[in-house]
């Protein structure tokens, strides 16, 4: 019987590739980039807030809603969620840093701060101190 007729006895060649460990510099770079990704919703919310408040969309769009839809492909509501989430995130970092004396809460291995808009959406209606308690 050939290998084509009896696949159980077929020879398979597997090439292994050695993956080197990350250097200390690469580990620092990875952590730095991971923090950027985790804070992306915060950065987006802050930018949208400034675009809205300063009406920087006015040269191309009559309304913030039209601008968000055309430029970013999402509704004004989605933009408002991001803006509110950024406010919560900022409240959390401000209160936590003042109360606990921690500079970067995302590096303490317990992931205290939220990493997405959806995680903070329920807290947007709360006062800053209540947000921190939650």
- Does some domain include residue 4? no
Q: What is the DSSP string of 50-108?
A: HHHHTTTTTTT-SSHHHHHHHHHSS-HHHHHHHHHHHHHHHHHHHHHHHHH--S-GGGS
Domain range for 30 is: 25-133
Per the prediction, the chain carries an average pLDDT of 84
pLDDT at 128 over 70: yes
Q: Is residue 30 part of a domain?
A: yes
Structure tokens that stand for 132 in this block: 């921190």
- Model confidence at 97, pLDDT cuts 50, 70, 90, reads low
Note whether residue 12 is domain-resident.
Answer: no
pTM above 0.85, yes or no: no
Residue 16 belongs to some domain of the structure: no
Please give the pLDDT value at position 19. 75
Distance CA(43)–CA(49), nearest Å, equals: 10
For 103-116, write each residue's pLDDT tens digit.
555 544 554 788 89
The total number of structural domains in the chain stands at 1
């Amino acid at each position: 019987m050939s290998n084509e007729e009896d696949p159980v006895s077929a020879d398979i060649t597997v090439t292994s590739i050695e993956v080197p460990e990350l250097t200390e510099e690469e580990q620092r770079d990875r952590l730095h980039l991971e923090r950027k990704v985790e804070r992306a919703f915060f950065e987006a919310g802050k930018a949208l807030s400034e675009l809205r408040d300063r009406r920087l969309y006015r040269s191309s769009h009559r309304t913030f809603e039209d601008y968000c839809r055309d430029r970013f492909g999402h509704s004004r509501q989605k933009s408002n969620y991001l803006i509110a989430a950024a406010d919560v995130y900022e409240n959390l970092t401000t209160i936590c840093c003042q109360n606990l004396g921690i500079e970067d809460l995302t590096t303490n291995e317990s992931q205290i701060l939220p990493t997405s808009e959806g995680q903070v959406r329920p807290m947007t209606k709360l006062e800053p101190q209540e947000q921190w308690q939650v």
